[in-house]
Amino acid sequence: MSKGKLAKFAELKEMPNVFQNFNWHQPQLINHLGNEVDYKNQWHEQVFGNNNPIVLELGCGYGEYTVAMAQQMPNHNIIGIDIKGNRIHMGAQWLLENRVNNAIFVRTSIELLANYFGEQEISEIWLPFPDPFRRDSKSNRRLTSGYFINIYRQIMEPDGIVHLKTDSTLLYEYTLESIAENGCTLLEEHYDLYGSNPTNALLHVKTRYEKLNLSKADTIKYIKFKL
């Protein structure tokens, strides 16, 4: 492990806008003081100090969408979630340096969400460029699989909305099938997102993955659905 990562991990532990879980079998969050915290059903009061809707970015990586949503949605509380701390570090540091107070990061596994958030505590979920897990044997790890939809239902409002942005045709088609199979409601879908000239400014935000265009995709796809 590089010294750069070690330094980031050390700094991450001291950031007041970052909460971390270090043990899958003990899903307890630790704050910047090293104390265990439990904000389930209390994120509004204990962390944000308001009753604004809470939006999650799952698999947030470097936090491009978390930061963008914090800026463009000042009347919402934004939480970026990822297991890789060295990536979260960039977004968390930017929020601190720019004194943006309506967003935080949680370092944990997405499978553990129901341990940290209560029923109907989340209003929206964004999935910008999640791993498509191309092998069929790993399809249940796709973030729009029935497995994860059931997790989302445990923490989201009844009309909670999920946004998927992807360059993977496989994940795009799989998600459309999963929406139908799991009783969700398709609200919007675009095989060529940018070709449709979306009016939502958030849909024009590009993650580092998208800028690198690792899959060499011809089009970026977008799906919006309701649980």
**Residue numbers annotated as active site:** 131
Per the CB < 8 A criterion, the answer to whether 28 and 21 are in contact is yes
How far apart, in whole angstroms, are the C-alpha atoms of residue 181 and residue 202?
28
Backbone angles phi, psi at 78, to 5 degrees: -115, 135
Per the CB < 8 A criterion, the answer to whether 70 and 100 are in contact is yes
How far apart, in whole angstroms, are the C-alpha atoms of residue 96 and residue 90?
10
> Taken in order 154, 160, 163, 164, is the CA torsion positive or negative?
positive
